[in-house]
A = this chain, B = another copy of it.
Amino acid sequence: MEQPTSPRIPAHELTRFAVAVLGAAGVPDEDARVVAVSLVEAQLRGVASHGLQLLPLYVNVLREGEVNPRPAMTRPVDAGTTATIDGDGALGQLVATAAIDLATEKALAYGVGVVVGRRAFHTGALAPYAERAAARGCIGLVISEGGRLMAPAGGLGKLVGNNPLAYAFPTRRGFPLVLDFAMSAVSGFTVTDYERSGRPLPAGWIRDGAGRPTTDPAVFTATMGADAGGTLVPIGEHKGYTLAVAHDILSGVLAGGQFGKGLGIPEDSVSVYAQAVRIDRFLPLEAYYDRLDQLIDQLKAAPPAPGSAGVVVPGERAHARRAAALAAGVALAPATLAALRHLADDLGVPPPAPDAAPAA
């Protein structure tokens, strides 16, 4: 996605810009900062689909009143190991951050914490939330709801959300061991990339509206906003389907939010399930780190597969990308940069500047 000719913009400048834009759209500064960090973190890790390209969409739903810039989000007082947050139509980053932080507080106090949140807009990338729990000696798990882009096993129609999960496990390697994925074999963004470059898809990625396998990306992209049409194939077919349904129950059903066909309308229909497990309730943290070091060493000692530079531990690649982008700056896709400049004009906010110095 990156273009070598794009100017590299420092991460702090992208954060400054996103905070200013969200502020201009009515979001209080503290909240704008949470959302900006979510977008910049995704961008730094190379997950452009959850990065700055979302900012124009966010501004749009804020302006249209589909998302509440000043939600009266319930932040429940401690009631033991569990809690439910009502997002009041907030940007999803606020609900997800509140949920994992509260779950972590509960895990630190009681051993385990589960907090669900409802009535949120798009949560962005999940990994950074799970990592907040890992940074405090817990195993973090965050589950949320994605677009309804899959069909149920044996049936037709866009009925099943591509509901992702992210686990984060602390390590002493300088980065947490992290997984973060949705339930389809590939994302809709990948299908779009194939279409843009005129390539047919590998077999097994999508089906048409009648349930027939196809390698034509247009079958999916042409019907992306519609209720019927092409669907993404779940990982492991019925396996991914059943886990997607489980995630819908854990987030939407349990949180009292939208679920199943209710997902997607209204815009603030997303729910989230956040869980933290305190590691030193099971074994001393140092013993846990020793054991995880052994596991990581074993994996990394494997001979490389053909065409591979060697084994990558879950989370390692994103961490390396993040470190490189923090050092060298972020090269946005030209279309994203153009959209951000347009947004800057529109809102009277200084555009992202490649040579910006960090704020004092």
**A binding-site residues for B, Cβ under 8 Å:** 80-82, 84, 110-114, 116, 139, 151-157, 159-160, 167, 169, 177, 179, 181, 185, 203-204, 210-212, 235-236, 238-243, 245-246, 248-250, 253-256, 259-261, 277-279, 281-283, 287-288, 291-292, 294-295, 298-299, 302-306, 308-314
Contacts and interface: CB of A to CB of B under 8 A. Distances in A.
Contacts of A249: 139, 169, 177, 292, 295
A242 B212 CA distance: 29
B298 A282 contact: no
Given A155-B305, A259-B291, 15 more contacts: A80-B110, A81-B112, A151-B302, A152-B299, A152-B302, A155-B303, A159-B298, A159-B299, A160-B299, A179-B239, A181-B239, A235-B240, A238-B314, A254-B282, A260-B295
A133 to B, nearest CB: 14
A238 B311 CA distance: 11
A116 B302 contact: no
Contacts of A212: 306
A169 B116 CA distance: 16
Contact of A154 (B111, B283, B310): B310
A253 B314 contact: no
Given A246-B167, A295-B249, A302 B155 contact: yes
A240 B236 contact: yes
A299 B235 contact: no
B303 A154 contact: no
A279 B260 CA distance: 19
A252 to B, nearest CB: 8
A305 B139 CA distance: 39
Given A82-B112, A249-B177, A256 B282 contact: yes
Contacts of A302: 151-152, 155-157, 159
A107 to B, nearest CB: 9
A264 to B, nearest CB: 13
The CB with the most chain B CB atoms within 10 A, among A155, A211, A304, is that of A155
A261 B298 CA distance: 7
B110 A312 contact: no
Contact of A306 (B160, B210, B261): B210
A139 B256 CA distance: 16
Nearest to A297: B260
B305 A236 contact: no
Contact of A311 (B152, B255, B256): B152
B154 A312 contact: yes
Given A249-B292, A254-B283, A261-B298, A155 B310 contact: yes
Nearest to A249: B169
Contacts of A160: 299
B181 A242 contact: yes
The CB with the most chain B CB atoms within 10 A, among A80, A151, A185, A253, is that of A253
B111 A80 contact: yes
Contacts of A211: 305-306
Contacts of A241: 314
A216 B298 CA distance: 28
A139 B244 CA distance: 15
